Amino acid sequence: MRHGPSLSPRGVKRAAYGLVERVPTRSVRYTRAMQSKADTVERYLAELPDDRRAALQAVREVILANLDKGYAECMNYGMIGYVIPHSIYPPGYHCNPKLPLPMAGLASQKNYMSLYLITVYGEGTEGETWFRKAWAKSGKKLDMGKCCIRFKRVEDLALDVIGQAIRRVPVKTFIEYYERALLPHSKGARAKAGGSAAVAKPKPKARAAAGGSGSASKGTRAKKKPAGRAAGRAGTARARSR
Protein backbone atom coordinates (compact mmCIF):
# COMPACT_ATOMS: atom_id res chain seq x y z
CA MET A 1 0.00 0.00 0.00
CA ARG A 2 1.34 3.40 -0.96
CA HIS A 3 1.28 6.25 1.49
CA GLY A 4 1.16 9.76 0.13
CA PRO A 5 2.60 12.80 1.85
CA SER A 6 0.67 15.04 4.19
CA LEU A 7 0.19 18.43 2.57
CA SER A 8 -0.61 21.46 4.67
CA PRO A 9 -3.24 23.93 3.39
CA ARG A 10 -0.53 26.50 2.80
CA GLY A 11 1.51 23.82 1.12
CA VAL A 12 -0.77 23.33 -1.82
CA LYS A 13 -1.67 26.99 -2.13
CA ARG A 14 1.85 28.38 -2.02
CA ALA A 15 4.19 25.58 -3.03
CA ALA A 16 3.48 25.00 -6.68
CA TYR A 17 6.93 25.05 -8.28
CA GLY A 18 8.14 27.32 -5.50
CA LEU A 19 7.83 30.36 -7.77
CA VAL A 20 5.32 32.31 -5.77
CA GLU A 21 4.86 35.73 -4.26
CA ARG A 22 3.08 36.47 -1.00
CA VAL A 23 0.14 38.78 -1.63
CA PRO A 24 -2.47 40.26 0.74
CA THR A 25 -5.26 38.10 -0.68
CA ARG A 26 -3.31 34.98 0.31
CA SER A 27 -3.64 33.64 -3.22
CA VAL A 28 -0.75 32.31 -5.28
CA ARG A 29 0.81 34.27 -8.10
CA TYR A 30 3.72 33.03 -10.18
CA THR A 31 6.76 35.12 -10.88
CA ARG A 32 8.02 35.42 -14.44
CA ALA A 33 11.69 34.84 -13.65
CA MET A 34 13.48 32.46 -16.02
CA GLN A 35 10.34 31.45 -17.90
CA SER A 36 10.94 30.08 -21.39
CA LYS A 37 8.66 30.79 -24.33
CA ALA A 38 9.23 27.30 -25.76
CA ASP A 39 5.94 25.53 -26.47
CA THR A 40 7.25 21.96 -26.22
CA VAL A 41 9.59 20.13 -23.87
CA GLU A 42 11.89 19.25 -26.76
CA ARG A 43 12.25 22.90 -27.77
CA TYR A 44 12.84 23.90 -24.16
CA LEU A 45 15.70 21.41 -23.86
CA ALA A 46 17.12 22.48 -27.21
CA GLU A 47 17.52 26.05 -25.92
CA LEU A 48 19.85 24.94 -23.11
CA PRO A 49 23.63 24.58 -23.05
CA ASP A 50 24.81 20.99 -23.53
CA ASP A 51 25.68 20.38 -19.89
CA ARG A 52 22.35 21.62 -18.58
CA ARG A 53 20.41 19.77 -21.25
CA ALA A 54 22.11 16.52 -20.26
CA ALA A 55 21.46 17.11 -16.55
CA LEU A 56 17.77 17.96 -16.97
CA GLN A 57 17.32 15.07 -19.38
CA ALA A 58 18.73 12.67 -16.77
CA VAL A 59 16.30 13.93 -14.13
CA ARG A 60 13.47 13.90 -16.65
CA GLU A 61 14.06 10.23 -17.44
CA VAL A 62 13.87 9.35 -13.74
CA ILE A 63 10.60 11.27 -13.37
CA LEU A 64 9.00 9.68 -16.43
CA ALA A 65 10.06 6.21 -15.34
CA ASN A 66 8.26 6.63 -12.01
CA LEU A 67 5.33 8.85 -13.01
CA ASP A 68 1.81 7.48 -12.60
CA LYS A 69 0.08 7.02 -15.96
CA GLY A 70 -2.54 9.69 -15.12
CA TYR A 71 0.02 12.50 -15.11
CA ALA A 72 1.15 14.33 -18.24
CA GLU A 73 4.38 16.07 -19.18
CA CYS A 74 4.02 19.50 -20.77
CA MET A 75 5.32 23.05 -20.75
CA ASN A 76 3.75 24.82 -17.79
CA TYR A 77 4.65 28.28 -16.44
CA GLY A 78 7.65 28.43 -18.77
CA MET A 79 9.25 25.21 -17.54
CA ILE A 80 8.83 21.46 -17.88
CA GLY A 81 5.75 20.54 -15.86
CA TYR A 82 4.19 17.32 -14.64
CA VAL A 83 0.49 17.86 -14.25
CA ILE A 84 -2.91 16.23 -13.92
CA PRO A 85 -4.70 17.14 -17.17
CA HIS A 86 -8.24 18.54 -17.32
CA SER A 87 -9.44 15.27 -18.83
CA ILE A 88 -8.79 13.67 -15.42
CA TYR A 89 -9.26 16.67 -13.14
CA PRO A 90 -11.62 19.16 -14.89
CA PRO A 91 -11.44 21.92 -12.20
CA GLY A 92 -7.78 22.50 -12.99
CA TYR A 93 -5.45 24.55 -10.81
CA HIS A 94 -7.40 26.76 -8.39
CA CYS A 95 -5.31 29.89 -9.06
CA ASN A 96 -5.93 29.56 -12.79
CA PRO A 97 -8.55 26.93 -13.70
CA LYS A 98 -7.51 27.15 -17.35
CA LEU A 99 -4.26 25.44 -16.39
CA PRO A 100 -3.93 21.78 -15.33
CA LEU A 101 -3.20 20.87 -11.73
CA PRO A 102 0.63 20.92 -11.24
CA MET A 103 2.48 18.29 -9.21
CA ALA A 104 6.14 18.81 -10.16
CA GLY A 105 8.37 20.96 -12.34
CA LEU A 106 11.85 20.97 -13.80
CA ALA A 107 13.68 24.13 -14.81
CA SER A 108 16.97 25.74 -15.73
CA GLN A 109 17.41 28.90 -13.68
CA LYS A 110 20.08 31.59 -13.96
CA ASN A 111 22.55 30.18 -11.44
CA TYR A 112 21.33 26.61 -10.97
CA MET A 113 18.75 24.06 -12.05
CA SER A 114 15.63 23.30 -10.04
CA LEU A 115 13.33 20.40 -9.37
CA TYR A 116 10.02 21.42 -7.79
CA LEU A 117 8.07 18.81 -5.84
CA ILE A 118 4.83 20.00 -4.27
CA THR A 119 4.48 16.63 -2.58
CA VAL A 120 7.42 17.32 -0.22
CA TYR A 121 6.36 20.85 0.75
CA GLY A 122 5.68 21.74 4.37
CA GLU A 123 8.06 21.65 7.31
CA GLY A 124 7.27 18.71 9.55
CA THR A 125 4.81 17.06 7.17
CA GLU A 126 5.09 13.35 6.45
CA GLY A 127 6.19 13.98 2.88
CA GLU A 128 8.91 16.47 3.80
CA THR A 129 10.18 14.37 6.70
CA TRP A 130 10.36 11.23 4.59
CA PHE A 131 12.16 13.04 1.77
CA ARG A 132 14.84 14.56 3.99
CA LYS A 133 15.53 11.26 5.77
CA ALA A 134 15.72 9.32 2.50
CA TRP A 135 18.05 11.93 1.00
CA ALA A 136 20.30 11.91 4.08
CA LYS A 137 20.76 8.14 3.71
CA SER A 138 22.10 8.69 0.19
CA GLY A 139 25.04 10.67 1.55
CA LYS A 140 24.33 13.55 -0.85
CA LYS A 141 24.06 17.16 0.32
CA LEU A 142 20.52 18.49 0.00
CA ASP A 143 20.07 22.10 -1.18
CA MET A 144 16.34 22.56 -0.70
CA GLY A 145 13.97 25.46 -0.24
CA LYS A 146 10.22 25.20 0.39
CA CYS A 147 9.75 22.58 -2.30
CA CYS A 148 12.64 23.41 -4.62
CA ILE A 149 15.66 21.12 -4.90
CA ARG A 150 18.50 23.16 -6.36
CA PHE A 151 21.44 21.56 -8.16
CA LYS A 152 24.28 22.48 -10.54
CA ARG A 153 25.22 18.96 -11.64
CA VAL A 154 23.21 15.79 -11.94
CA GLU A 155 25.83 14.17 -9.69
CA ASP A 156 24.53 16.40 -6.86
CA LEU A 157 21.21 14.57 -6.87
CA ALA A 158 19.98 11.39 -5.21
CA LEU A 159 18.11 10.24 -8.31
CA ASP A 160 16.74 7.12 -6.63
CA VAL A 161 15.12 9.25 -3.90
CA ILE A 162 13.60 11.53 -6.53
CA GLY A 163 12.17 8.47 -8.27
CA GLN A 164 10.62 7.26 -5.02
CA ALA A 165 9.17 10.70 -4.28
CA ILE A 166 7.41 10.67 -7.65
CA ARG A 167 6.29 7.04 -7.46
CA ARG A 168 4.75 7.24 -3.99
CA VAL A 169 2.15 9.84 -5.05
CA PRO A 170 -0.17 8.47 -7.76
CA VAL A 171 -2.80 10.73 -9.32
CA LYS A 172 -5.65 9.69 -7.03
CA THR A 173 -3.58 10.28 -3.91
CA PHE A 174 -2.42 13.71 -5.04
CA ILE A 175 -5.95 14.86 -5.89
CA GLU A 176 -7.24 13.70 -2.50
CA TYR A 177 -4.54 15.62 -0.61
CA TYR A 178 -4.91 18.67 -2.83
CA GLU A 179 -8.66 18.90 -2.29
CA ARG A 180 -8.45 18.14 1.41
CA ALA A 181 -5.93 20.92 1.91
CA LEU A 182 -7.42 23.46 -0.49
CA LEU A 183 -11.20 23.38 -0.44
CA PRO A 184 -11.72 24.24 3.25
CA HIS A 185 -9.49 27.30 2.83
CA SER A 186 -10.42 28.67 -0.60
CA LYS A 187 -13.69 30.61 -0.88
CA GLY A 188 -13.78 30.38 -4.67
CA ALA A 189 -13.07 26.66 -4.78
CA ARG A 190 -15.52 25.99 -1.95
CA ALA A 191 -18.28 27.89 -3.76
CA LYS A 192 -17.70 25.92 -6.96
CA ALA A 193 -17.81 22.72 -4.96
CA GLY A 194 -21.13 23.71 -3.42
CA GLY A 195 -19.75 24.42 0.02
CA SER A 196 -22.13 25.26 2.84
CA ALA A 197 -23.12 28.88 3.14
CA ALA A 198 -22.07 30.86 6.16
CA VAL A 199 -24.64 31.50 8.85
CA ALA A 200 -26.31 34.82 8.11
CA LYS A 201 -25.78 37.53 10.69
CA PRO A 202 -28.65 39.84 11.76
CA LYS A 203 -28.88 42.86 9.51
CA PRO A 204 -27.99 46.22 11.07
CA LYS A 205 -31.37 47.62 10.00
CA ALA A 206 -33.18 44.86 11.85
CA ARG A 207 -31.24 45.65 15.01
CA ALA A 208 -31.94 49.36 14.56
CA ALA A 209 -35.64 48.67 14.11
CA ALA A 210 -35.68 46.52 17.21
CA GLY A 211 -33.90 49.25 19.17
CA GLY A 212 -36.30 51.89 17.81
CA SER A 213 -39.30 49.85 18.89
CA GLY A 214 -37.89 49.62 22.42
CA SER A 215 -37.26 53.34 22.52
CA ALA A 216 -40.79 54.02 21.33
CA SER A 217 -42.36 51.93 24.09
CA LYS A 218 -40.26 53.73 26.69
CA GLY A 219 -41.40 57.03 25.22
CA THR A 220 -45.03 55.91 25.41
CA ARG A 221 -44.65 55.02 29.06
CA ALA A 222 -42.99 58.38 29.70
CA LYS A 223 -45.89 60.22 28.12
CA LYS A 224 -48.46 58.34 30.21
CA LYS A 225 -46.91 59.41 33.48
CA PRO A 226 -47.66 63.16 33.08
CA ALA A 227 -51.21 62.29 32.01
CA GLY A 228 -51.70 60.26 35.18
CA ARG A 229 -50.44 63.05 37.38
CA ALA A 230 -52.70 65.55 35.63
CA ALA A 231 -55.72 63.32 36.22
CA GLY A 232 -54.82 63.10 39.92
CA ARG A 233 -54.60 66.87 40.30
CA ALA A 234 -58.00 67.27 38.57
CA GLY A 235 -59.57 64.81 40.97
CA THR A 236 -58.19 66.68 44.00
CA ALA A 237 -59.56 69.96 42.67
CA ARG A 238 -63.05 68.50 42.29
CA ALA A 239 -62.97 67.10 45.82
CA ARG A 240 -62.09 70.51 47.27
CA SER A 241 -64.84 72.23 45.33
CA ARG A 242 -67.35 69.92 46.92
Give the 3-state secondary structure of 148-168. Answer: EEEECCHHHCCHHHHHHHHHC
Give the pLDDT of residue 222: 46
Tell me the per-residue pLDDT of 8-19, one tens digit each, with 9 for 90 and over.
444 444 444 444
Higher pLDDT among residues 219 and 177, named by residue: 177
Residues 104 and 118: beta-carbon distance below 8 Å: yes
> What does the radius of gyration of the chain's CA atoms come to, in whole angstroms?
32
Higher pLDDT among residues 141 and 200, named by residue: 141
Q: pLDDT over 90 for what percent of the chain?
A: 50
Give the pLDDT of residue 208: 45
Q: pLDDT over 70 for what percent of the chain?
A: 60
CB atoms within 10 A of CB 88: 15
Give the pLDDT of residue 201: 38
Cα–Cα distances (Å) from 130 to 57, 120, 161, 165, in that order, read: 25, 8, 10, 9
pLDDT tier at 117, thresholds 50, 70, 90 = very high
H or E segment to which residue 41 belongs: helix 41-46
Give the pLDDT of residue 45: 97
Lowest-confidence segment of 43-47, 135-139, 222-226 by average pLDDT: 222-226
Task: Provide mean pLDDT across the span 47-59.
Answer: 97
For residues 129 and 121, give the distance between their C-alpha atoms in angstroms, rounded to a whole number.
10
Tell me the per-residue pLDDT of 140-185, one tens digit each, with 9 for 90 and over.
999 999 889 999 999 999 999 999 999 999 999 999 988 886 555 5
For the ranges 62-71, 186-195, 225-234, the one whose mean pLDDT is highest: 62-71
